[in-house]
Chains A and B, each alone.
Chain A
Amino acid sequence: MNERSHGGQAVDVPSRVRQIVADTLQRPVGQIPIDAKLESGLGIDSMAMIDIGVSIEEEFEIALPPDLAERVRVETVGDLVRVVEGQLTARGRN
């Protein structure tokens, strides 16, 4: 089974990550551009980042690295998408 599909549809990771960020911030998804900075642009604090991380784990059934909320490598929505895609690829190989 293709792990990255739901009902035969390829998973659009960027849209779904943007939707999760939008839902967490209770803002329309149109206000969450892919290049938005999580902290300085969207004002995401550590609590919101943890909420987003848990939502991503639930949605994609993956495990995010524990230092995600420290945002060392994850500055933008796009960075977050790349982390998710990386984890999905790693899971697909197992």
Chain B
Amino acid sequence: MEARTRAEREAMSRTSAEQREHECKLVAHHYEHDPEIFRLVLGRQRAYSVGVFAQPDDDLETAQERKLARIREKLDLRPGESVLDVGCGWGSVLLHLAQHTRANIHGITLSARQRDVTTAMARDLGAGDRVHVEVRHVEELALPAESVDAVVFSGSIVHMHDRASVHRLVARALKPGGRVLVSDCYFPKQERGDRHSEATQHIFVTALGYCRLLALSEELSLMEDAGLDVTHVEDLTENYVRTVDRWVDNVRTHRKTIDGMAPGFARLLQTYMTIGRMSFHRRSALEYMVVAVKGRPRVNYGAWPVPGAP
């Protein structure tokens, strides 16, 4: 696979161990800022990923709640099943699942601060016994084969360079019938926009540490190579434009407060979010939610979207 960006080319010149260390250090940096900043910008759930808008004027928290419910529907967790949330952030998905299912939840993040916030919130919800969050790189998880019922990557796989390894370890860890859900950003297969520009470098490296956008077909291919069957894909690109519009509005509203907590951070957020918004608006970046299954699916995906489901 050829490098599409400067960040990707640099990553390809590192050994696996060096790249893991690079991700642990540089990706975590962004998320180690005061969690209060992210509550102001991302809303109550601190969901740092696409919302799903049924109406163009839905507010951010409604759109995020709809997205979280959609992830829950797609993962279809039964009581006592286990789910791994890779890159769990401040726990938006994990805490939603803790509240609305009886599953056992394992979250991993690269940020100690995110681990602490998420762990405390799970305890406050009375779900401390079913939720375990730790700081760990996904490639350093030693999961027994066929030990997990579902794995979710919500706005996190973009930070992981070695996607082939990630999908292989997920496929190995899933039980037969296990599901994996990926919701993230992709490049269109045909190059649109300048992927070597200062703007791309700003968003992928300066703001977010390390990002690697594949083409959707490349991600699906790696999932298939790992032995998984892709069962559902949906485009959420326009929803991402709306989500980012609301984030930027929140940065504007809280600019002084944010700058009081972290000088210059409001500007960094607004700058990278504006670049991202423009890319999704022009479709030089795309947003997809993908579900794949190991073995026979339990759900009839032909009946989706489930009538009446949020």
Contacts and interface: CB of A to CB of B under 8 A. Distances in A.
Q: Do A and B come from one complex?
A: yes
Interface string A44-66: 01110011011001100001001
Interface residues of A, number: 14
Contact of B277 (A45, A57, A66): A66
A50 to B, nearest CB: 5
B270 A46 contact: no
Interface stretch (B33-41, B137-145, B197-205, B295-303): B197-205
A69 interface: yes
Nearest to A48: B198
Interface residues of B, number: 17
B252 interface: yes
Contact of B278 (A45, A58, A63, A70): A70
A66 B197 contact: no
Interface of B: 197-199, 202, 245, 248-249, 252, 255, 267, 270-271, 274-275, 277-278, 281
Contacts, number: 38
Interface of A: 45-47, 50-51, 53-54, 57-58, 63, 66-67, 69-70
B224 to A, nearest CB: 36
A interface majority secondary structure: helix
Given A47-B197, A50-B199, A54-B270, A69 B278 contact: yes
Given A47-B202, A54-B274, A67-B281, 11 more contacts: A45-B198, A45-B199, A46-B197, A46-B199, A46-B275, A46-B278, A47-B197, A53-B274, A58-B267, A66-B277, A66-B278
B interface majority secondary structure: helix
A69 B278 CA distance: 8
Given A63-B249, A63-B252, A66-B277, A45 B197 contact: yes
Contact of A50 (B252, B255, B274, B281): B274
B91 to A, nearest CB: 30
15 contacts: A45-B198, A47-B202, A50-B271, A51-B271, A53-B274, A54-B267, A54-B270, A54-B274, A57-B252, A58-B255, A58-B267, A63-B252, A66-B278, A69-B274, A70-B278
A79 to B, nearest CB: 18
Contacts of B202: 47
A61 to B, nearest CB: 8
Contacts of A70: 278
Interface centre among B245, B274, B278 (most CB of A within 10 A): B274
A38 to B, nearest CB: 15
Contacts of B197: 45-47
Nearest to A70: B278
A64 to B, nearest CB: 9
Contacts of B281: 66-67
Contacts of B245: 66
Contact of A54 (B198, B271, B278): B271
